[in-house]
Amino acid sequence: MNIAELQTGLDHPPRPLDLDRTALFLDLDGTLAPIVARPQDVRPDPRRTDLLERLTDRLEGRLAVVSGRPLHEIDHILEGRVIAVAAVHGLVRRDARGRVREAPPHPRLDEARSALRAFVADDPGLLVEDKGLSLTLHYRLASHRGQAARDLVEGLARETGLAHQPGDMVAELRTPGASKGDSIRQFMAEAPFAGAAPVFLGDDLTDEHGFFAVRALGGYGILVGPLRRTTASYRMENVAAVLDWLEEAAR
């Protein structure tokens, strides 16, 4: 999917969720948990854990988390309550039966890792998040270095063949391969998701592939955060609004 193809999304909230016919796909950061400057600062939350447990039960297992985080971090933050997970933007996927499939790492990740670590060495506001199959350069606490960070990552992508994935105050280099949309399509071809109507909630540009996928499969996407160009059909203001909406469905 070409980001240039995005259209302005509808600026109104979604209708109440029908759990009897829905397959629910949820991003994590910016959707289930607020965005923070350092990804390691996101912790388990009792309300979120209880909510996901109840939703999984009501949906008869038709719930998956689709996130850019590594699998072990997702399990830690969600306290292991969600079995079906697509991690590292789809490069790692655990199906509803607990089977894990993981892409092989790109051979030039080490080269990119060294270059990014050298770039952040003299600035405590910069952070390299190493996900094994991808590397994310965070500059939220050093926004004045944002252009230099993006230029570095774009250059490394051209030199190494790694995929460049832009995001909100981050620039990521990832092993080429499955996207969030690919993961959703794979889940929807399997039990217990097959035959349901997919709904995907996400906040970032990396979620647009997921919005595109659920629309093509007869469902809809929900953008979380400020209005922008998107293939999502609805929008919610923030994480609090998402949790309230999901709570209403879980009742």
Residues acting as catalytic residues: 27
φ, ψ for residue 141, nearest 5 deg: -95, 5
Q: Are 176 and 2 in contact (CB under 8 A)?
A: no
Dig out the tokens for 22 from the structure: 């829905």
Tokens of 213: 């996928």
Which residue in this structure is represented by tokens 């109440």? Answer: 16
Chain centroid to CA 2: how far?
18
| Residue 132, phi-psi category: left (phi > 0), alpha (psi -120 to 50), beta (remainder) | left
Q: Do the bridges between strand 92-94 and strand 100-102 make them parallel or antiparallel, or are there none, so unpaired?
A: antiparallel
Residue 69: which H helix or E strand, with range? none
67 closest CA partner among 104, 31, 24, 37: 31
Nearest to 167 by CA among 134, 121, 193: 134
Cα(233)–Cα(124) distance, integer angstroms? 39
What does R_g of the chain's alpha carbons equal in angstroms?
A: 18
